[in-house]
Amino acid sequence: MASSCGQKVPTNLKLKNELDTISYCLGVDVANSLKRGKFKEINYEAFIKGMDDILTEKKTLIKQDTLKFIVNDYFRKLQEKGLQKNLEEGQKFMEENKKREGVTTTESGLQYEIITEGTGKYASDSSLVLTHYRGTLIDGTVFDSSYDRGQPIEIALNGVIKGWTEGLQLIKEGGKVKLYIPIELGYGVNVRPGGMIEPNMALIFEVELIEVKSNPKN
């Protein structure tokens, strides 16, 4: 997070006592919250002035009943900007990706590459399955991985995003598939606040179907 006014930040600050330590910890905590809110820069002088006015019970430069409206409106604008950006980037990625050799596109818009077909049973749209997976953003950033945790996950295919429900029916037990999931088959705007997945993001999953535990296709 950058300063918008070039204020100097101490680089050799020493935490000499408990007050120093808790003050620094609070600063880190607030900064993490701001970062999750997608703030790219901040005017430290105005920021510190706002904190000081409250802590020393001074009159704030903006009426307190107006502050919440200003902050909410700013976040709304940030979200709208992010929604459009993610939508355009996701659509562009999917459009280019479908042209690659080996990528198949279904009627729903799901794109996939079968890495290994598998030799066991097929799953149905309501199967309980055991899987290993790795999820990435379209820029390659890993946001979740059962491989990293060293533990496969058991899921019901009628309780996951549509891209998974459809995609895991394309391979048999023992198979592995790479799924390119468009916004409408992913999380859409219903994402966990503060997580790596933002609203309107296209996603990529590499999924291994280890076992179909129930309701397999015949």
Q: Which of 114, 143, 147, 197 is catalytic?
A: 143
Assess whether 205 carries a catalytic annotation: yes
Residues 6+ positions from 172 with CB-CB distance below 8 Å: 117, 118, 119, 120, 121, 122, 209
Q: Which of 125, 144, 147, 197 is catalytic?
A: 144
Contact 204, 138 (CB under 8 A): yes
DSSP state of 5: S
Residues 6+ positions from 114 with CB-CB distance below 8 Å: 170, 171, 175, 176, 177
Q: Which of 112, 155, 205, 210 is catalytic?
A: 205
Q: Which of 93, 122, 133, 180 is catalytic?
A: 133
DSSP state of 168: T
Q: Which of 42, 115, 138, 161 is catalytic?
A: 161
Q: Which of 93, 122, 180, 187 is catalytic?
A: 187
Q: What share of the chain is helix, strand, coil (3-state, %, to 5)?
A: 35, 20, 40
**H helix count then E strand count, the chain:** 5, 9
Assess whether 52 carries a catalytic annotation: no
Assess whether 180 carries a catalytic annotation: no
- Type of residue numbered 156: A
Which residues are part of the catalytic machinery?
Answer: 133, 143-144, 161, 187, 205
